[in-house]
Structure 1
Amino acid sequence: MSIGTKIVDYFKTSREELKKVAWPTKKETTRYTLIVMGLCIAVAVFFGILDGIFNLGLNKIISFR
């Protein structure tokens, strides 16, 4: 088998496999995107609060002298 034939076979097989994929609907994609964005914001807020708490604690320890 030549390299050209292998490449063509690869793309044919890839195309056939992509047809088998159960793609999400636009509504599902939007919903999952919003969930991910919401979770990212929630985690960022959580770590921001945690950072503030540690910062306050560290400042109290440092200024204790």
Structure 2
Amino acid sequence: MISFLKDVSREMRKVSWPTGNELTRYTVIVILTVLFVAIYFTVVDLGISQILELL
């Protein structure tokens, strides 16, 4: 177990962490993507509902 934790610690030092600007940019991109997908599926769902009501 101790060997595993040492290996994890060693690997974590190799990780390239994002800067503050990168983190902000990535966060905005994720939020905008989620909003776009949510709006897209809402419109598709409403369209399918309208088509089914006509039938």
- Output the TM-score relative to the length of structure 1: 0.79
May I ask how many residue pairs the two structures share in their alignment?
Answer: 55
Q: Once the two structures are aligned, what percentage of the paired residues are identical?
A: 35
Please tell me the root mean square deviation across aligned C-alpha atoms, in Å: 0.8
Aligned-pair distance for 1:38? 0.4
Match of 1:3 in 2: none
Match of 1:41 in 2: 35
Aligned-pair distance for 1:47? 0.6
Aligned-pair distance for 1:9? 1.2
Q: Which has the larger radius of gyration?
A: 1
Alignment of 1:26 onto 2:20: yes
- Structure 1 spans left out of the alignment, 5+ residues: 1-6
Once residues 8 and 43 of structure 1 are traced to their aligned partners in structure 2, the CA distance between those partners, rounded to angstroms, is 44
